[in-house]
Amino acid sequence: MDRIRIVGGERLKGTIRISGAKNAALPLMIASLLTDETLTLHGMPRLADVALLARILGNHGVDVTIAGKRAGQDTNDGQTYKLTAAEIVDTTAPYEMVARMRASFWVLAPLLARCGEAKVSLPGGCAIGTRPVDLHLVALEALGADIELDAGYVIAKAPKGLKGNRIHLAKVSVGATHNALMAAVLAEGDTEIVNAAREPEVGDLAACLVAMGAKIEGIGTSTLQVQGVSSLHGAEHRVLPDRIETGTYAMAAAITGGDIFLEGARAELLQEALEALRSTGVEVYEETGGLRVCRNGHGLEAVSVETQPFPGFPTDLQAQLMALMCTAKGVSEVRETIFENRFMHVQELARLGARIDLRGDTALVHGVNGLRGAPVMATDLRASVSLIIAGLAAQGETTIGRVYHLDRGFDRLEEKLRNCGAQIDRIAG
Ligand SMILES: CC(=O)N[C@H]1[C@@H](OP(=O)(O)OP(=O)(O)OC[C@H]2O[C@@H](n3ccc(=O)[nH]c3=O)[C@H](O)[C@@H]2O)O[C@H](CO)[C@@H](O)[C@@H]1O
Ligand SMILES: C=C(OP(=O)(O)O)C(=O)O
């Protein structure tokens, strides 16, 4: 299994181009199931999750082609995917594939909406909590679907089509909002989705659905109003820049006392995280075409955060902020309110010399003077990248195992960091 090796201590300087967001690209690809015409997605990131989802969609009959694939053509602007679901050949999403990725569960609604039936394995994804799907099922039931659970599969049926209704999501859920929205656009009549997730990736999906002919109002708010249409058509859409990748490289710049321009980053997608960074003493400012993050000579101050649905501090940046806080002055309180088991990085950061006490849903990070390199193990996607951030600042060599977690969600990570002066490479084996 591959490992990543970092020799820490280099100040990162230069430009990092932000890729299209994984968490937008995946539901956008799935939206291709809703039409028999071609959906063209520009700015797609090169990620293992994208490749796996392309295979899953292929199983259902989606023809997926990638343009601009030759070396050099797509390095800055991502890839262009053309997805055409002229005919759905299979409405079953098998366990072997869905169990590896959370987002693949979102094929449930479009398959059901278009074909009147779907059989989808319960999902996998990062092991960061129990991650139930009750809200997804309640939403589809509200639109008239019959749902049954059998041998690890959700079997959903709506032979006479879905009917618009009021869907009240008891808890804010990104995935349940995606599923509810993709079902509602082809349901007969009007649907109101109340307490919808306001994450920018939900807005990106909604904008793409509108380009495909859907009628949606309230995009970006917690109440989405959908007027069902009988069919959708093809469209072209550019994937939103990745706010989690943006925040991750911002923290890498901060921990190394570096100066990085994040090209294509959009501040409004992660205001709360940028505010937290500024409170640590890091300079963050908007420049034409992106964001600059630098820390010149100042020490880092401890800051406390609590993860919350958008526009709050994102859970997908919690591990990275914790890495940054390891060398800050004072004690930082990091409270995780979204997932009950998202502190797997704590014991690995401790191997690098971090001092962190865990108290239920809160981690108390006591800043230390410096970190020292060590072998560590990636446990999930964002935990892995928190180890990269810590390794960049640690003295000596850090090796990180199980890097397949990183490849799920970070497009050419080593190359991007190496271009800014990091000593980082991948050891095959
Ligand atoms: C591919 C993708 O976009 N993944 C993101 C998505 O995951 P995902 O869509 O799985 O996360 P949700 O927003 O659904 O989860 C939020 C909370 O709701 C709970 N819940 C969710 C559904 C449900 O039916 N019942 C229920 O109780 C979850 O256990 C969790 O505690 O949003 C998360 C929260 O921003 C991010 O961390 C993930 O990176
Ligand atoms: C938790 C994440 O991904 P997934 O929902 O696919 O497990 C993530 O992107 O941080």
Supply the pLDDT for residue 298.
85
267-280 burial string, b = 16+ CB within 10 Å, else e?
bebbebbbebbeeb
Q: Residues near ligand 1 with C-beta < 6 Å?
A: 23, 26, 102-103, 129, 131-136, 171, 173-176, 197, 315-316, 338-339
Domain 3-15+242-427 shares a fold with domain 24-238: yes
24-238 is a CATH 3.40.50.1220 domain: no
Strand order of the β-sheet with 38-44 is: 63-67, 79-84, 38-44, 235-238
Residues of the chain with confidence (pLDDT) below 50: 71-74
Supply the pLDDT for residue 230.
97
CATH architecture of 3-15+242-427: Alpha-beta prism (3.65)
Supply the pLDDT for residue 126.
65
- Catalytic status, residue 420: no
Q: How far is the CA of 381 from the centre of ligand 2 (A)?
A: 7
Q: How far is the CA of 15 from the centre of ligand 1 (A)?
A: 32
Residue 316 alpha carbon, nearest atom of ligand 1: 37
Reading phi first (left if > 0) and then psi (alpha if -120 to 50, else beta), residue 395 is in beta
Supply the pLDDT for residue 127.
72
Q: How far is the CA of 217 from the centre of ligand 2 (A)?
A: 27
135 labeled part of a ligand binding site: yes
CA–centroid distance for 43 within its chain: 15
19 labeled part of a ligand binding site: no
Supply the pLDDT for residue 333.
98
- Separation CA 35–CA 99 (nearest Å): 25
Q: List, for residues 108-136, the tens digit of each pLDDT value.
A: 999 999 999 999 999 876 677 778 999 99
Supply the pLDDT for residue 77.
79
Q: How far is the CA of 58 from the centre of ligand 1 (A)?
A: 25
Work out the mean pLDDT of the chain and round it to a whole number: 95
Pocket test for ligand 2, best of 102, 243, 313, 411 (most atoms within 8 A of CB): 102
For the chain, what are the domain ranges? 3-15+242-427, 24-238
Supply the pLDDT for residue 74.
47
Residue nearest to atom 10 of ligand 1 (CA): 175
Ligand nearest to the CA of 382: 2
